[in-house]
Structure 1
Amino acid sequence: MSETNPNAALAHFNRQTLDFTLKELSLSGRADGDVAARGGSSSVELRGSKKLVCVEYPAVVKSVEKMLETLGGEQTVSKTFSDPSRRLELRFRPQDPFCHSVCGNRLPSTNLLLRVRRRVRKKDPKDAEIQMDIVGIIATTYKFQGMVDFQCLAVNSLNGEDTSLYDKIILRKAESPAFFEQDVPNFLPPAIFSRLDCPVDYFYRPDSQQKLPSAETTHVRKNLIGLARARRQNNAVFVSFNDPSVPTECLPAAKQNWARFCMKESDRRAEANIREMFERRPIWSRNALKANTNIHPEKLKLLLPLFAYYMVTGPWRCLWVRLGYDPRKNPDSKKYQMLDYRIRCSSKYGHTVPNIPVKAKRSAHNYSLSITLNKAVPQAANVMDSLSQDGPSTSRAPLPVSYQLKESSYIFRDGMLPPHRQMFYQLCDLEVDSIKDVIEQNSGNERVCDERDGWCVVGTTDKLRDLISAMIRKVVREKKPELPQVFQKRRRIGLIVKFPERDVEEEEGECGIKDDDDDDDDEDEEEDEFQPSEGSENEMETEILDYM
């Protein structure tokens, strides 16, 4: 961020008033033969110029160091610049954890940063010569165009006096229990700040996009409260496990919606491909569809309601089922059931939460407030964007874009690690012989379809999770054969202090890697997080929101 000092100088220079009469303007680096008349114009070739980033700081800069501190430092500014969708956050009180930031928009610019020198004749101060050097080109500018939100200070106002509460509510070091038992006045910051920082002319008028046809008003009216955007008209049909029947045809609005966007030959090929896939296999997960096709995600959202409905609960939840096909009445649909698997994290599995070899899909540490997203940059492509090379093009053909997922996004084999900590597998995509044996143990004798285990034997879901966990544990130990011994050493020291008469061999046996038999005995005690449960609905809710 060597550009910061010139940018601050530029912001300071823009506030100055040059009180002189311009008599001659010369640009350094100009060729000798390029002589321009006084008061005329001159062309300058900008080769090898630095590319700079300008920050229009909304205050008078007196200390560059303090200014950078309010922006989070050079590292934070560089990280923000590397992501075009991020806005630059500014905190006027950087040491205050309750400080609410003001955000700057990232905008493209075509400006120059100039270094101006003024030479004045001693005899005639009004006779000045100005020389300017081009320091660099400013292609990106951050502008703080929004309003600063309200700030909440941790103070107690009593009898006209304000008393700071920061030392009483902020934990700066390890404190004794008396610190937590002391009486502190109530400090309740707002649960949420404004989602917008730019004023909008609302005038209490109804949103035109929220107007619904009269036929849909009764059905959707109860869901209109609290909407922050218009409902997505993708016309998917949702079915629960306890519903008496399943739909046999798609909604007419779904056909009309797809007809508006099916304009190219590639769209018709995609439609035929999805139809053929559901004829060949009646139940699919969205990841499996994405791994076997190369269709834009926005168009896939419109295609799926034409051929399938979405199961919300039961052994086929989070899956798309062909219209007219009821898996609850067909035992052959057992192989298409869904298994919600989550990697178990504990020291006995060779990976704890900090050093787990598989990343999580979502993390609370990476959560971004809505005001920190840049509204000025172009958003993601919509359905109407060109997705293929249909027709001739006068410009250079763009690079082909692939929307196809990897095979590991929906298939599990022995010796591989899942790409995420939580995975939704269909039983037919678990390509392991021992897993298939557990699934097929009651083949031909299916009698009742259970809401949790489907057509499988009761308890099959837990057995499959145990098998997959054992395979993943084996892979992790092969990749990281030496487990961290920090906690084991501390435990051994504690044992020596408490029981000095115990043998060294016994102590070392307790500190090393346990056998599988010992693991089974202590399994309930050492489990930390990501326990297998009835199943998380995070992924399902994410997919449902695409259609609401």
Structure 2
Amino acid sequence: MKEIYVCDCDTYMMSNSSEMHNLNRELICIEYPGVVKNVDKMFETLGGLKNISSVYSQKRRRLELRFRPNDIFSKPACGDRHSTSALLLRVKVRRKKKRSENGNNDDDAGEVVSCEASIVGQISTVYRFTGMCDFQYLPAVSDSQGKLKSIYEEVVPIGVRDYSWLTNPDVSLFVPPPSFSRMDMPQSYSFRRGKSEAEYLENFQSKSHSKSNVFPRNIIGRTRCRRSLHTISLSWTKLWAASGKAPRTEANRMQVVNAHEGQATNSNEISRNSSSGPSCSSSVNQTYEGIIPVRPQETAVRLLRIKFLCGEPFLRIQKYLEERPVWSKNALLALTKLTADQLKYLLPAVSYYFLNGPWRGTWARFGYDPTKHPSARLYQTLDFRLRRIGGMKSRIKAKRSTMNCSQPYKWVTSSRPKIPVVKKIQINPKIQEEIEEKEDDLEANYIFRPGMLPPSMQMFYQYCDLQVPEIQALLEKLPQTEPDAVCTERTGWLPAGFDEKCRDIITDHVMRKLREMGKSS
């Protein structure tokens, strides 16, 4: 876009008739990083109008520009999407023509006679190419004279070729990298000061059980510490070993997996103050009663104060845990109306997490041990997976798929730093409908009832959230647990084969719904 400067208003005769303006037409602006001489070739470098429309429909997608569109090895320059408020103007300037009938030069030639401006449309979205585009890997090799020679036709087959190229020993080696830099925007990065080798070995050997070990076990593997926001997690194997019902050996002894150092001795106690509401006060107490944690880690509570979550959000999440001791994160997301970022800090401060076992992937209230309460069978997790049947893939998507993955540079979040933005919106009927649809989507992530389709091929449901009459009838018919009953890792407090019956019931309802959708379409 070019800015229009208006000066010497007496000279120009501006025609501002409202009939010439079109403010209802919405346009997209692309600030092309080059001089456009051929519009068709410009659209070809952008992938065509179809590709531009596809990118525009995805708000986080970046617009790719390939200066060599016919070269499959051409790495694109990416344009970021920005919001703007601009107008596209069409300006028509009339000038006096130069007449040379008598051979005399007209002194008034080129003088502006009139200037008409009209608004073509309004622009609310603009794509700007501000990143680097110099990451290129060309299919070329050096010949005997040191000159570069293109081998594009050799590495990219054109048409149907015979198999002789497979046995040809004189083949140029061309192995392009699978991906380039994740970011094409300059980033400020502060490198951590590394310890000297002597300091590192001394520090490691002081913590090691054996002085003969010089290098840590995970020297090849994870390159950073766990970042679990100081969540207290329980493994079923360690819980079972600590209960005294399994041999206590060094291999399966009690172990609580914490996010920071593996155990906690100091904690913060979150209490309520009648005058000023909930507050976070520091105290030193025992964090565990046996294997079950009863209080959060000190750092988890400190993060609540930093994130200003000690007030109403904390009371809200605490209320739900008092009503029901075990929850899934998806259920709390839908019911509490809290954001995922808020729950990321609230849950470690009020509950602990089950890594596996009958309550896999759920959050339990501090001090509550479901292995001692047979009524906790309602909160057990059902791992439901849909069988792949023809036509199902088009209706129900997989959570993760290698077919749907794309390079990180194609999306905004991995290409430029995140900037928090506070938006003020006015609730209108259309936005209200979108909010209600979003609430229905959140509900489908943890509840199943007849007539619904799971949002993905694999779902984790709690039995109390399965609102299916057949399953609820099976739960009501369950006999009372005997005093010597044992909670097992696979079935928990439920009888063997109960989960398979529930899976078959859910599958029947899903297939019935798919058949109805097939007939209606």
TM range, normalised to the smaller chain?
0.5 to 0.7
Deviation at 1:56, TM superposition (A): 1.9
Please give the alpha-carbon distance, in whole angstroms, between the structure 2 residues aligned to 1:345 and 1:252.
46
Question: Which stretch of the first structure deviates more once superposed, 295-304 or 190-199?
Answer: 295-304
Please give the alpha-carbon distance, in whole angstroms, between the structure 1 residues aligned to 2:96 and 2:141.
57
Identify which of 361, 364, 389 aligns with 1:346: 389
Deviations 1:294-321 (A, max 9, x none): 2233223222222211111222121111
Please say if residues 140 and 148 of structure 2, whose CA atoms lie closer than 8 Å, have aligned partners that are also in contact: no
2:177 counterpart of 1:193 = no
| 2:504 maps to amino acid | D
Identify which of 229, 251, 254 aligns with 2:297: 251
SS at match of 2:382: strand
Please say if residues 327 and 333 of structure 1, whose CA atoms lie closer than 8 Å, have aligned partners that are also in contact: yes
Relative CO higher for 1 or 2, CA cutoff 8 Å, sep ≥ 6? 1
2:449 counterpart of 1:413 = yes
Deviation at 1:156, TM superposition (A): 5.2
Please say if residues 154 and 166 of structure 1, whose CA atoms lie closer than 8 Å, have aligned partners that are also in contact: no
2:490 counterpart of 1:452 = yes
Please give the alpha-carbon distance, in whole angstroms, between the structure 2 residues aligned to 1:112 and 1:423.
49
Aligned length: 423
2:410 counterpart of 1:425 = no
What 5-or-longer segments of structure 2 have no aligned partner?
Answer: 99-105, 195-206, 208-217, 239-253, 255-290
| 1:370 maps to amino acid | P
Deviations 1:411-451 (A, max 9, x none): 22344322332211012222335435666656515733333
SS at match of 1:416: coil
Deviation at 1:380, TM superposition (A): 8.2
The aligned counterpart of 1:153 is: 138
Deviations 1:269-298 (A, max 9, x none): 443332222122111111212232222332
Please give the alpha-carbon distance, in whole angstroms, between the structure 2 residues aligned to 1:374 and 1:432.
41
The aligned counterpart of 1:144 is: 129
Identify which of 342, 357, 362 aligns with 1:319: 362
| 2:68 maps to amino acid | R
The aligned counterpart of 1:298 is: 341
Deviation at 1:142, TM superposition (A): 2.1
Identify which of 316, 323, 326 aligns with 1:280: 323
Cα distance change of structure 1 residues 396 and 372 upon mapping to structure 2, 3 Å threshold: closer
The aligned counterpart of 1:26 is: 13
| 2:374 maps to amino acid | P
What 5-or-longer segments of structure 1 have no aligned partner?
Answer: 1-6, 15-20, 32-43, 208-217, 388-394, 484-548
Deviation at 1:51, TM superposition (A): 4.1
SS at match of 1:80: helix
Cα distance change of structure 1 residues 455 and 154 upon mapping to structure 2, 3 Å threshold: farther
Please give the alpha-carbon distance, in whole angstroms, between the structure 2 residues aligned to 1:298 and 1:321.
19
Please give the alpha-carbon distance, in whole angstroms, between the structure 2 residues aligned to 1:201 and 1:312.
36
Please give the alpha-carbon distance, in whole angstroms, between the structure 2 residues aligned to 1:442 and 1:374.
55
SS at match of 2:111: strand
The aligned counterpart of 1:524 is: none
Identify which of 491, 495, 510 aligns with 1:472: 510
Please say if residues 414 and 471 of structure 1, whose CA atoms lie closer than 8 Å, have aligned partners that are also in contact: yes
Cα distance change of structure 1 residues 292 and 53 upon mapping to structure 2, 3 Å threshold: closer
Deviations 1:479-518 (A, max 9, x none): 32599xxxxxxxxxxxxxxxxxxxxxxxxxxxxxxxxxxx
Cα distance change of structure 1 residues 413 and 81 upon mapping to structure 2, 3 Å threshold: closer
The aligned counterpart of 1:94 is: 69
**Aligned-residue RMSD, C-alpha:** 4.3
Please give the alpha-carbon distance, in whole angstroms, between the structure 1 residues aligned to 2:80 and 2:235.
44
SS at match of 2:293: coil
Cα distance change of structure 1 residues 386 and 303 upon mapping to structure 2, 3 Å threshold: farther
SS at match of 2:43: helix
SS at match of 1:413: coil
Question: Which stretch of the first structure deviates more once superposed, 96-105 or 150-159?
Answer: 150-159
The aligned counterpart of 1:241 is: 236
Deviations 1:193-226 (A, max 9, x none): 112212345585769xxxxxxxxxx9xxx89975
The aligned counterpart of 2:265 is: none
Percent of matched pairs sharing the same residue: 34
More helix by share: 1
- State the TM-score, normalized to the length of structure 1: 0.64
